[in-house]
Amino acid sequence: MKRWIFFALALSLPHAGFAETSTPASKAPAPSLEGEAVDVSKVTEKYWAQGKDSELGVVQNRRYSNEKRFEIDLLAGSLSYDPFQSVSNYGGSIGYYFSQYFSVHGIAWKSSVSDSAAYKSLKAEAPTADLFRNTPKSFYGIQLNENFLYGKASLLGKMIIYVDLFLLGGAGVMNSENGNNIAPFIGIGQKIHINRNIVLHLDYRVLGFKETVKNTAGSSQTRSNTSDAISFGLGYQL
């Protein structure tokens, strides 16, 4: 019995020694995945404003200046004077810009008048109708401009145009076949700079005045007239 016990111990000794010596091999340290630190603020600094006044200047200077310059314009347009008359205007203006934003202009036009389609239709239905009418002849007056908006725009993706938008107001004299009448007006206009000297105009004015109208029998009466005038202009700045 003792012999078998010694035999079993003898067989177990090599396994015990192997267990002691066969320790698992140590693993190599894993490579570090940390990258190099980057200062993001230095990158964004190139593209985003930081709230400083020096970095928020987005207003550009005018390419074409108006200040201390004269301007001469040729004008053509229409006047909604009377529903029974078709009125076209031809004239001009001359002005001076005291600054980029304020200018004074003398304006004048002559009127070409013909019977409107409404009048012709009325006379065809009622040939004996006797209407009270007054035919405009001309207008002249003083106009003040206040430029309040300047910018540039793309025209059909082909060219950049420079535009002034301005409020206008003034007063003048409406000359008609039945007398002269004081006519104050207000409106809005747009000027497009073609180059340093040449400009295009589109102006809208509302004129208000009182006038005397007469019929063919010689009777007369006074009425208030509010007329819309649209003018297209070609100008030259000196």
pLDDT (tens digit, 0 to 9) for every residue of the chain, 238 residues total?
Answer: 545 544 454 555 554 444 444 455 555 555 555 556 666 666 556 555 555 555 555 556 677 788 899 999 999 999 998 888 899 999 999 999 999 889 999 999 999 999 888 888 888 888 887 788 888 999 999 999 999 888 877 778 777 778 889 999 999 999 999 889 999 999 999 998 888 899 999 999 999 999 988 887 778 889 899 999 999 999 999 9
**Does residue 9 form part of some domain?**
no
C-alpha–C-alpha distance, residues 178 and 152, integer Å: 46
* Residue 25, in any domain of the structure: no
2 within domain boundaries: no
Q: Is 183 exposed, middle or buried (0-12, 13-18, 19+ CB in 10 A)?
A: buried
| Total number of domains in the chain | 1
Number of C-beta neighbours around residue 188 at 10 A: 15
Kindly report the pTM of this predicted structure. Answer: 0.69
Q: What is the residue range of 76's domain?
A: 69-237
Angle at 209 between CA 204 and CA 214, to 5 degrees: 120
Planar angle of CA 172, 175, 178, nearest 5 degrees: 135
CATH code at position 88: 2.40.160.20
